[in-house]
Structures are given as structure tokens and as C-alpha cells.
Amino acid sequence: MFKYLIVLVFILHIPVSIADSLATFPKNIDKMLLVKQSVIPGNDVVLPDDTPLFLQETVKMYNWINNGKGTKLNIFVPKNKLNEYKKHGPYSDGITAVAIYEDQDIIFVTEHIAGQPLYGTYNRQGKDLSNSHPSFKTDICYQCHEGYSDICTNGTCAVPIIDIFKNKIK
């Protein structure tokens, strides 16, 4: 019920600041498909000048994770969502994708209800981490995932271009 209220709030564009995770904790990550492996480089890595602004912002936002040493980032999608994910939606209800910062076991979740994306951050045990760091607050997720609408469609963002980071980490 709470989620439907939130969706209503977004549809009506009422400005709100929400702190708790909106997406539910994914209990069955081990049954999901690994769709992408990428990397957040450490905070000592200088990105090439021609790195798209969007990716620079993402790295800047999250390269404090794992004490700034960089982390593998794996993206998993539930089997029944794979086709929707490939096409960047539109998405049916339920968990859409999870992104795991493997070196610190931080789990980003995107879920859709009634076509609207919901975001959440948890640890492996399902503890809600949304309030544990400013960059984990759900309104920050929306800012980027909805702000870059030419790159992120229907609330999901992954594009192969971020593979340029692969060779940047030891």
C-alpha cells in the first residue's frame, strides 16, 4: 500500500524528500542472471578527458565505497525481466535489477510498480542502508536515473560504454 502511495506522489509530481529504501530487498539474487560486470575505479584514478559527464558523476558519487580503493560492480536481473531489461523497459511490476558493489557487499535495487521506478540500498543481510550515506538516499538515485533521460530509460541506466573502466583497475 505504501508503495502505491509513493507512486501516486511521483505521478502527481509532489516534491518530497524520501530517505528510506523504496524498492524491496531481493531475497533471491543467487537465482538472477549476471548481465554486466563493471567497475567503479578507485578515487586515485584519473578518468580520461573524454569520459562522458554522466559517468564522471557516477564515479565521483560512489568512488568512496570500499575506502576509495575501487570495487567490482555486478548487475543482476531476474530471469523473467531479462527481455524487458534488454529493451530498457517498459517494466512489469517487481524487482527489475540489482547492482552489487562486490567489494563492500552493498546492494542497489531497482523495482518497478505501475511503470514507476523505485530504488533501494541494502547490505547482504537485508539491512536498509538508505540512511547510512548521503549518496544512498533515494532522491539521489532519482536525480541521476531520471535526470539523464537520454541515457537512462524507464529508470535503468546500464550501457556498455562503462566498460571503458575495465582496464583501469588492477
- Per rule CB under 6 A, is residue 158 in the interface with ligand HEC? yes
Which grid cell is 25? 530487498
What Cα–Cα distance (Å) separates residue 20 from each residue in 8, 59, 128? Answer: 17, 23, 7
* Cα 136-140-143 angle, rounded to 5 deg: 155
- Per rule CB under 6 A, is residue 122 in the interface with ligand HEC? no
Q: List the one residue from 71, 116, 154, 156 that touches ligand HEC (CB under 6 A).
A: 156
- Per rule CB under 6 A, is residue 98 in the interface with ligand HEC? yes
Q: How far is CA 112 from the centre of its chain?
A: 13
CA dist 121 and 73 (Å) reads: 14
What is the closest distance, in whole angstroms, from the C-beta atom of residue 141 to ligand HEC in the complex?
3
Stretch that binds ligand HEC, among 9-17, 42-50, 64-72, 156-164 (CB under 6 A): 156-164
Beta bridge partners of residue 72, listed in sequence order: 39
Q: List the one residue from 42, 65, 106, 145 that touches ligand HEC (CB under 6 A).
A: 145
> Which residue ranges make up the site for ligand HEC (CB under 6 A)?
36, 38, 57-58, 61, 73, 75, 97-99, 108-110, 119-121, 136, 140-141, 144-145, 156-159, 162
